[in-house]
Amino acid sequence: MKVRVLTDSGCGLTKEEAAQYHLDYLPLQVIVENKTYLDGIDLTTEQLYDLIDKGYLPQTSMPPLGMIEELFDQYKKEGVTDVVAVTLSSGLSGTNQAIQASAKWHEIKVHTLDIYTTLSVEKYLAISAAKLNDKGYVPDEIIHRLQAVVEHSQGFLIPEDLNHLARGGRLTPMAAKLAGMLKIKPILEVSKNSEGKVGTCDKVRTMAKAISKAAKLTAKGAKEAGDCVYFVLDSASEENAKLCVEELQALIGKDVKIERESICSVIAAHTGLGSVAFQYCKKVKGAD
């Protein structure tokens, strides 16, 4: 058995960073004014933020099918028999289905699961899978351990500008307009509870109140899950991200580590600038 671990750019890693963790990598596509970029290869998160700041409304697409085929052609030549695939939610992208289709054609077995989310939890799960693979765990056991974590994970997003979500089809234009008029800050959830799609968890009137409520939801869910890792993310909203950390620390303790990361390009294309997010998940057994 020869095993490789595969992820996509929804995890927030670049291709070079993924390689450092022994992860193979597929870039999603970001389209801006008819120009297509490969996320994490020829487009950085900072460059995407700059494009949004200039008024562009990017769109996204799954990795190029030709690139997926090339990767599995290479696997076949190298004698790879099994692939552990950790990709963003099937509710957000068809990436996982495309990987499975190519693997079937090449007669390579894919071991995968729907993680119902993306961003830092995807990154944590992908890196954990690579660590378990390096330790010699078989693919089925790796997926079993990841699945146990997915059952105890959640993510909450608070967008500043709903127009990006509406443009990407994640929210109706009317809902975005109405929320803006009423100065409503929705707390959005992307987890198993929302079937891996963008769902509305709650609605409040200010960003500060939304952050406070999302922090409480995060702390409550993590307490029920047990030993967890925590993440606070933002898209060019450092001050609000600091507030997120402070609110969460007040609930879970200042000694608990909270990872700070940026909302990566392919996700920020939909959330826009000024967004913040909380994520947590149970620690993967044996991956530390």
- The pLDDT of residue 171: 52
**Count of residues for the chain?**
288
Please report, to the nearest 10 degrees, the dihedral formed by the alpha carbons of residues 63, 64, 69, 71 taken in order: -50
Q: Which residues of the chain have pLDDT under 50?
A: 170, 172-179, 181-182
3-state secondary structure of 3: strand
Distances (CA, A) of 224 to 130, 151, 152, 155: 27, 11, 8, 15
Classify residue 83 as left (phi > 0), alpha (psi -120 to 50) or beta. Answer: beta
> Per CATH, is 3-150 categorized as 3.40.50.10170?
yes
- The pLDDT of residue 175: 46
Quick: pLDDT tens for 142-186: 999 999 999 999 999 999 876 655 555 545 444 444 445 446 788
User: Would 3-150 and 153-282 be classified into the same CATH topology?
Assistant: no
CA distance 271 to 258: 22
The encoded tokens of residue 243 equal 């507030």
Domain ranges of the chain: 3-150, 153-282
The answer to whether the beta carbons of residues 256 and 245 sit under 8 Å apart is: no
> Per CATH, is 153-282 categorized as 3.30.1180.10?
yes
- Say which DSSP state 192 is in: G
